[in-house]
Amino acid sequence: IFSVSATRTAVTEWFVNIYESFTEIFSARADLEQKPDTIETAYTPTAIPEGYQHVENYLAQSEWKITWKNASGDSIYFIQTTLSSKATVDNEEAECEMLCIADKQCLLIRKNGKICIYWNGKDYAFSLIVPEAVTAEQYSAIIDSVEKQSNPET
């Protein structure tokens, strides 16, 4: 299922190639050569749902990942990558939709009890992976709360 629903007209800044068994997501921006090719500035969401505790930060050259976990073992992942990175998602038996969340054009994929949301910022690409128990209001608040932090810390 692939549906399009957006409350505002958004400029497409990335391409989505849908194949039989996977979806490839990558930036379509013409100014990629002027964008960072490493994580120079980290971003962090501040509106994590109650009951989730921060458990890990991971920093690689082109990826910044933060993990939170609740008492049931459910995890929330926030991932920041360079715009030149590609994401590949297994789309077999997945529900996909394009929508606007917190004024950002997003690709949302539901599969195996998880919701994966992808969007681009000015200099970086972002993704959020949450369990289906996280409500639309909660994941919208997480996305809306993403803010710059001075330097990535592991």
What pLDDT, on a 0 to 100 scale, did the predictor assign at position 8?
A: 32
Q: What angle do CA 143, 148, 149 make, to 5 degrees?
A: 120
Q: What is the pTM of this model?
A: 0.78
Per-residue pLDDT tens over the stretch 70-123: 999 999 999 999 877 666 666 677 788 889 998 898 889 899 999 999 988 888
Confidence category of residue 38, pLDDT binned at 50, 70, 90: confident
H-helix or E-strand spanning residue 128: strand 124-131
Say whether pLDDT at 46 is over 90: yes
